[in-house]
Amino acid sequence: MMLERGKVKTEPFHFSERDHYGSLISEEKGPSAAALTGARGHLYAALQWEVGVRIVIIDESAARASIIEEGLREAGLENLSILTEREGMVAALVALEPDVVLINLENPSRDALEESFLISRSLRKPIAMFVDQSDEDMTTAAIDAGVSAYVVDGFRKERVKAIVDLAVRRFQAFSRLQDELTEARTQLAERKTIDQAKSILIERRGLSEPEAYKLLRNHAMQSNRRIAEVAQALITAETMLGSKL
Amino acid sequence: MTMDLFRIGFLPLVDAALPILARELGYAEEEGVELQLVRDTSWATVRDRLLYGHSDAAHLLAPLALATTLGLGRPPVPLSVPFVLGLNGNAITLKPGLARQVVAEGEDLPDSATSGARFAALLREKAQAGKRLRIGVVHRYSSHNYMLQYWLRACGVDVENEVEIVTIAPPFAADALATGEIDGICVGEPWNSVSVERGVGEIVNVTSHIWRRGVEKVLAMPTAAMEAAPELVHRVIRALFRAGEAFVVPDRCEEISGILARPEYLGASAALIGRAVSDRIKLRAEAEPMHIPDFMFQHRQAANFPWVSQAAWLYSQMVRAGHVEESAEGYAAAQKVFRPEVYRAALAGRGVPLPGASAKLEGGIAETTGVGTIQGRLLLSPDQFFDGRAFDPDRLTAYLAGN
């Protein structure tokens, strides 16, 4: 039975009805399970029927969008588009006719997007990610990770879940990368602060470098503060007392 | 004293003032509440954070609280509004060339019937030429959308065919006007003033001239969460009430604008924010600020009291816009969102005016009138719609039929 785009309802699912995605995917023609083994095999197995699904990734961070795209591609999903610009987004989306829209939770265009879903005559009506009891955990995980998803009516939730799970993992991976980057930057800045404080002590008190460091460290331990904090306090005091620094 | 954490989501707008001031002026702390404010840039995000527990309450568009409860565009989640964060404070800004056809050069703000007639003629002319004007509103389910449509319909505009109404997030208003993405916008402050200052827009009307007492942002909470912690909710309401008292002290305008301007709140110029706080609005880049009484009405005359009839009026406009089909159940559910009894319980015994009734004839006050209270004394000044129609919540169908 052929089903037209836009007329798919949530009736019982049969693989033979899946040809409305354009690229015909049947049970026999799906990617072989062997190609999808490995640590993530289980997830990929859930995705193997989705290779034709049209996914649009919307994110004002092009870097994060690429990381998600890469993850979805690795899983064998090919029909992907990325939108990063706010202006013209709705028109671009309508032209792409997505089955699933993945968007970062904090995207400023979400209100315009939701509006377009409700009014567009040409766009099939995607609705917010499933929020009934059975998917509460998935939705919460997605919101916590900062992902929001819209899915066209009739797209079965088990199939969406695999895609959203993957997006959630990529979002988390991106956040970790960001955290690590921030941490590395902080460490670098702190090292500079400590070096500067050491120079002050070396110059003002005639200490050697190891002695200066030891003094900072002891002071930090006594006052229950971090060395960088003590170093910063010393620099501030030195500046206020009008040194040549 | 142990402090209870309470998080409120908000968008960078002047009418997020009361939650911000409740924190910054120490009122929340005095109530034993550690108020945390969570800033976002879209209402969808504010709503999702509220529904998934990233925030405990939200600074929300009143109609969006109704739409969420009614399940428009998503599965329904019942929300409750125990406190109104303010009335009006929005304006309609058009690109300068178009604005001059609605408000003549050197003219003060005309009344809404006059400006509306000119705007209607302009919209019709453009529509007939096949170039419908595109006007932004901040959300499908926003008072901005409904007030704009109310004004246009009352002035004879065929809203479905003679104008295109689109959604634009408030912080992008000026950019969208500058690039020609939109021809005009109905948005809250400071985003009209930002557009005026950049020379990309001119204010042609303010929503307080469409409805003198139009309900705007509310404090919304999931009903279940609100009812599970009544005592904490009461303390939050008292802190917000005191913030309202501070907001309307004229001498504090500069201090308040300075707080709102901070990068973690609005991240905008204090001088521009001060215009809305003081009801002194600059219509055009080269004009002097003009005093518009009640431009924002954040506290006086029990403005924070959630009148059930306000929710009822919003529902009537949702029906009129085709956003919801009129039904007795839907109407009842929409009205139940506003919770005057929670407001009364929070402020009982504090000498502040508490209306005895929960609903009133909206737009029915032509002269300052005393209203019955269970505590304190309350006088309400005129609250009319520009076209003189009043809304009786008990006569929804007749109102919609235009009788």
- Whole-number pLDDT of residue A9: 33
- B8 membership: H or E segment, kind and range: strand B4-10
Per the model's pLDDT, the better-predicted residue between B92 and A116 turns out to be B92
Mutate which of A85, A110, A111, A129 to test chain B, going by most B C-beta atoms within 10 A?
A111
B224 touches chain A (CB under 8 A): no
Q: What is the 3-state secondary structure (H, E, C) of chain A?
A: CCCCCCCCCCCCCCHHHHHHHCCCCCCCCCCCHHHHCCCCHHHHHHHHHHCCCCEEEECCCHHHHHHHHHHHHHCCCCCEEEECCCCCHHHHHHHHCCCEEEEECCCCCHHHHHHHHHHCCCCCCEEECCCCHHHHHHHHHHHHHCEEEEEECCCCHHHHHHHHHHHHHHHHHHHHHHHHHHHHHHHHHHHHHHHHHHHHHHHHHCCCHHHHHHHHHHHHHHCCCCHHHHHHHHHHHHHHCCCCC
The C-alpha atoms of residue B64 and residue A58 are separated, in whole angstroms, by: 24
CA distance A6 to chain B (A): 17
Residues of chain B with pLDDT under 50: none
- Cβ contact B44–A114 (<8 Å): yes
Per the model's pLDDT, the better-predicted residue between A60 and B87 turns out to be B87
In a 10 Å sphere around its CB, with 0-12 CB exposed, 13-18 middle and 19+ buried, how is residue A241 labelled?
exposed
Q: How far is CA A48 from CA A130, A141, B155, B200, in A?
A: 21, 23, 57, 51
The C-alpha atoms of residue B291 and residue B278 are separated, in whole angstroms, by: 8
Which among B256, B222, B228 is positioned nearest to B76, based on CA atoms?
B222
- Whole-number pLDDT of residue A14: 31
- Whole-number pLDDT of residue B106: 83
CA angle B324, A123, B176 (to 5 degrees): 80
- Whole-number pLDDT of residue A8: 32
Position A99 confidence tier, pLDDT thresholds 50, 70, 90: confident
Nearest CA in chain A to B46: A106
Q: Backbone phi, then psi, for B337, in 5-degree steps?
A: -65, -40
Q: Using CB atoms, which residue from A113, A115, A143 is nearest to B52? A: A143
B138 touches chain A (CB under 8 A): yes
B139 touches chain A (CB under 8 A): yes
The C-alpha atoms of residue B343 and residue B346 are separated, in whole angstroms, by: 5
The C-alpha atoms of residue B11 and residue B16 are separated, in whole angstroms, by: 7
Cβ-based neighbours of B117, under 8 Å, separated by 6 or more:
B155, B156
Residue type, B332: A
Residues of B in contact with A147 (CB under 8 A): none
Decide: A45 and A33 in contact? Cβ < 8 Å.
Answer: yes
- Cβ contact A118–B73 (<8 Å): yes
For the CA atoms of A89, B40, B208, B238, what is the dihedral angle to 10 degrees? 160
Decide: B62 and B314 in contact? Cβ < 8 Å.
Answer: yes
Q: Backbone phi, then psi, for A113, in 5-degree steps?
A: -65, -50
B48 touches chain A (CB under 8 A): yes
Residue B101 forms beta bridges with which residues? none
Beta strands in B223-377 (DSSP E): 280-281, 290-291, 296-297, 354-355, 369-371, 373-375
Tell me what the pLDDT averaged over chain A comes to: 75
Which among B4, B13, B18 is positioned nearest to B239, based on CA atoms?
B18
- Whole-number pLDDT of residue A13: 30
CA distance B291 to chain A (A): 33
Per the model's pLDDT, the better-predicted residue between A8 and B67 turns out to be B67
Do you find a cis peptide bond into B382, omega within 30 degrees of 0?
no
> With left for phi above 0 and alpha for psi between -120 and 50, is residue A240 left, alpha or beta?
alpha
Residue type, B315: Y
B164 touches chain A (CB under 8 A): no
Q: Tokens in use for B334?
A: 């929409």
Residues of A in contact with B138 (CB under 8 A): 111
A91 touches chain B (CB under 8 A): no
A133 touches chain B (CB under 8 A): no
- Cβ contact A110–B44 (<8 Å): yes
- Cβ contact B52–A115 (<8 Å): no
- Whole-number pLDDT of residue B403: 54
Q: At what angle do helices B308-320 and B328-336 cross, to 10 degrees?
A: 140
- Cβ contact A108–B171 (<8 Å): yes
CA distance B73 to chain A (A): 7
Please give the model's pTM, rounded to 2 decimal places: 0.82
Task: List, in sequence order, the alpha helices (H) in B218-307.
Answer: 223-228, 230-247, 253-261, 270-277
Q: What does the DSSP 8-state code read for residue B214?
A: -
Q: Which residue has the tokens 């506290």?
A: B299
The C-alpha atoms of residue B319 and residue B150 are separated, in whole angstroms, by: 12
Per the model's pLDDT, the better-predicted residue between B218 and A74 turns out to be B218
Query: β-strand B4-10 against B57-61: which pairing, if any?
Result: parallel
Query: What are the b/e assignments for B330-361, b being 16+ CB within 10 Å?
Result: bbebbbbbbbbebbbbbbeeeebbbbeebbbe
Residues of A in contact with B75 (CB under 8 A): 128, 131-132
- Whole-number pLDDT of residue A116: 84
Largest CA distance in chain A: 89
Span A119-173, pLDDT tens digits: 776 656 666 665 554 567 777 888 888 888 888 776 666 777 788 888 888 888 8
Residue A32 forms beta bridges with which residues? none
Q: What does the DSSP 8-state code read for residue B262?
A: S
**Is residue A48 pLDDT above 60, yes or no?**
no
CB proximity under 8 Å: A 145-184 to B: 148
CA distance B32 to chain A (A): 28
Residue B38 forms beta bridges with which residues? B9
Establish how many alpha carbons lie within 13 A of residue A97's alpha carbon, considering only the half-sphere containing its beta carbon: 10
Q: What does the DSSP 8-state code read for residue B388?
A: -
A118 touches chain B (CB under 8 A): yes
Residue B296 forms beta bridges with which residues? B88
The C-alpha atoms of residue B300 and residue B362 are separated, in whole angstroms, by: 17
A:B CB pairs within 8 Å: 67
Mutate which of B42, B74, B141 to test chain A, going by most A C-beta atoms within 10 A?
B42
**Three-state secondary-structure class, residue B296:** strand
Length of chain A: 245
Give the mean model confidence (pLDDT) for residues A211-233: 92
The C-alpha atoms of residue A27 and residue B260 are separated, in whole angstroms, by: 59
Q: Note the ipTM here.
A: 0.88
Residues of B in contact with A115 (CB under 8 A): 139-140, 166-167
